[in-house]
Structure 1
Amino acid sequence: MRKLVISAVSALVFATTSTFAADYPSKEIQGVIQWGAGGSTDTVMRSVTPHAEEALGGTVVMQNMTGGVGAIALNYVAGQAADGYTLLMGAENPLLYKVMGLGDKDYSDFIPINLLARGTPILVANKDAPFDDYAGMMAYIKENPGELRVGATGPGGLPSVITAMMNTIEGKLDVISVPYDGDGPALTALQGGAIDVMPAVLGAAIEGIRAGNMKPLAIFDVAQNEKLPEVPIVTSFNADYETYLPWGPFFGVFVASGTPDDVVAKLSAAYAEGAKNPEFVELMDNRGFKMMGISGAEAEEFLAKWQQGTTWLLQDAGLTKASPEEFGIKRPGQ
């Protein structure tokens, strides 16, 4: 009798879940954006979601939930029912929460619906710098130790990761790190001659490059960039960078682990379709982002490699609160 009751309950749950997934969405979906209005993540999500809504046949009501470097939004969504009615619209930061002491959850507690696009890092120099490419910069550092001024924006930011990557690949570089409150002020300082070199996202630097106000040294990617096809990729100078590349800030839509597979499939298909919309593609292209549009195992593999490489780079640079090893994150190559 007990087995019959359990079997009946299991059948009821399966039937209810299947019906639920078939009717999804039957009400408004909440989209929680990790960052404030007007920022890059906000702009990306508010641009792609209307197109995803058309494919999904439902409504996604978006709201900005700021604080804790995005952790407040992540924890909120993790605490809601895993039914597909609460989406997390975020960027790369959660993959660093554990090692930076910002929280005990990250994207391993979520299912990636779609990783939409990623930024491409580029190393740029003042237009009057006495070198014209990455190799020339490395030679200058060796010949002039302690003189090159490199812009920074704080632990975990793109400049800190790229600088840590260079230190890991090339050996500790004898340079001066000059802190700024964001890419904008740092790139302004670069053009004014206050610093010599700045790692930045291509979208933020490309107009200055085109105007001749700064010069590109290398693109940190594994393939030439269509926007700047004449700029060499860093792997052409040192193939060891392939261990950590491709890398860059990214944008993605997530749901809590445990969300029914059918619901995940519907959301993934909708955002995949939305990401193909010409208006959205043009927006990403104009901002220098590289389209990804991946989900499932491919997205999980990308997230794992991103977290593995980045956390260990920051660990070796002395910028973490805890070792990646404490959380089962293996060093690249192991």
Structure 2
Amino acid sequence: MRKKCRNIITYFAVLLPIFLAACGNSSSTSGEEASSYPEKDINGIIIWGEGGATDNISRTLAPLVEKELDGSLVMQNKEGASGAIATQYVYDQPADGYNLLFGAENPNLYQVLDISDRDYMNDFTPISIFGQNFGGLVVHKDSEFETIEDVVDFAKENPGELNMGYSGEGSLPHVAGAMLQAELDTEFNYVPYDGDGPLATALLGKEVDATVLSVSAAQEYVDSGDFRMLSVINDEAIETAEDVPPITDSYPEFEKYFPWGPFQGVFVHKDTPESIVQKLTDAFETAQEDEEFQQTLEDLGVVPLNINGEEAKEYVDKNRSTSAWMLYDAGAAERSPEEFDIPRVDED
């Protein structure tokens, strides 16, 4: 018996240094991952098609991040299913920091809309939230509608006849349309497109009568005179569209929804090593300080945020709560936010 005990003690005595060494090597390996990263091209997956706000901002920022990382960032558009195809694709890739998801607010609503099981809060880690945007109700320059009241009155008097373009379930125009329906009893014929870019093209070609675009995506068309912006989906005017009245000027009942708006950011799989998350975070944070990039955001009407870590998580979580309950209260959600433990903002 004593011999058996001695053998057991000897066995663990031999294994203990090996185990401790392995733990030490794990920490070292984590540091080595960051120091050698990136060793190959990084894929930047954009959830929308070309030409929209998320695409424009992401592609403007990418070369600045490349300089900080001393590596290549290969940007790709992978549109479809309101961004769920790109989101699932990045989630399915190895959690090694070589696949970044450049997205907007849509994945926050996949669960309540029954589009996908994926969402930012449970499946991804935010590297950075670049900025917050605002929506604007826009029409073609030749449109008969001169004010937001014209649009609302027509939609109420002619249910389902006004073609409202939108970029998929959970998109800005979808949520804004739900707000109009809930508060003003409007009824639109929704026509889907894969992102702000194709949606703007559709309005340019008069395929739709109106839509809600992010101000950043609509700005160039408004500046060129091709579109007219009738209202900003906000409770106050914004600097880049200061002559456009906020929706609350016409309909004060919308005040309860604000502050709210779309955002752009970059995310990685939740299981990505912390050392790589930190290296990416530092690179994106520094890159966004570039004066030309800041000017790009300003020109697009985007409020710069450049937040990361816990602050970014809290921001995304609040946006999810606001949007999910907004849709649910408007009767536009398939499932209750309560099913996914999403509290109302005032219950946080």
CA separation of 1:213/1:176 partners in 2, compared to 1, >3 Å: closer, same or farther?
farther
For residues 248-305 of structure 1, the C-alpha deviation after alignment (integer angstroms, 9 at most, x for no partner) is 2x32211111323332222112112222334433444444433332211222122112
Task: Describe the SS at the equivalent of 1:251.
Answer: strand
CA distance in 2, matches of 1:159, 1:51: 31
**Aligned-partner SS, 1:292:** strand
1:238 maps to 2:246:
no
Alignment of 1:209-224 (within 5 A): 216-221=229-234, 224=237
SS in structure 2 of the partner of residue 153 of structure 1:
strand
The equivalent residue for 1:16 is: 29
1:175 is aligned to 2:186:
yes
How many residues are treated as equivalent by the alignment?
321
CA distance in 2, matches of 1:267, 1:257: 14
Q: Which amino acid in the other structure matches residue 23 of structure 1?
A: S
Aligned runs of 1:249-260 on 2, under 5 Å? 250-260=263-273
Match of 1:45 in 2: 58
Asked if residue 329 in structure 1 is aligned to residue 342 in structure 2, the reply is yes
Q: 1:307 aligns with which of 292, 314, 320?
A: 320
Match of 1:152 among 164, 177, 198: 164
* Cα deviation digits, residues 52-75 of structure 1 (max 9, x gap): 111122222333334443323322
Is this contact kept in 1: 2:240–2:300, CA < 8 A?
no
After alignment, is 61-70 or 14-23 more displaced?
61-70
Instruction: Give the direction of change, closer, same or farther, for the CA distance of 1:3–1:62 in structure 2 (3 Å limit).
Output: same
**Offset at residue 217 of structure 1 (A):** 4.9
**Structure 2: how far apart are the matches of 1:165 and 1:176?**
11
Conservation of the 8 A alpha-carbon contact between 2:106 and 2:171: no
Q: Does the aligned pair in 2 maintain the 1:34–1:90 contact within 8 Å?
A: yes
* Secondary structure at the counterpart of residue 20 of structure 2: helix
Equivalent residues of 2:132, 2:264 under 8 A apart: yes
Distance 1:247 1:80, change over 3 A: same
- Give matches, 1:64-83, under 5 Å: 64-83=77-96
- Is 1:228 the counterpart of 2:228 in the alignment? no
Question: Hey, what does 2:176 align to over in structure 1?
Answer: 162
Indicate which of 110, 120, 127 corresponds to 2:124.
110
Given residue 121 of structure 1, which amino acid in structure 2 is its aligned partner?
G
Counterpart residue type for residue 303 of structure 2? K
Residues 325 and 300 of structure 1: is their aligned pair in 2 closer, same or farther, counting only changes over 3 Å?
A: same
SS for the counterpart of 1:54 is: helix
Q: Residue in 1 aligned with 2:72? A: 59
Structure 1 unaligned runs (5+)? none
Segments of structure 2 that go 5 or more residues without pairing to the other structure are 1-11, 194-198
Contact between 1:221 and 1:233, CA under 8 Å: does it hold in 2? Answer: yes
2:277 aligned with 1:264, yes or no?
yes
Q: Residue 226 of structure 1: CA displacement?
A: 1.4
Alignment of 1:185-200 (within 5 A): 185-186=202-203, 198-200=211-213
Aligned-residue sequence identity (percent) comes to 33
Structure 1 residues 77 and 9, CA gap change in structure 2 (3 angstroms):
same
- 8 Å CA contact retained: 1:120, 1:289: yes
Give the TM-score of the pair, scaled to structure 2.
0.75
Deviation of 1:101 (Å): 2.2
* Distance (whole Å) between structure 1 residues aligned to residue 173 and residue 275 of structure 2: 40
Residue 51 of structure 1: how far off its partner (Å)? 0.8
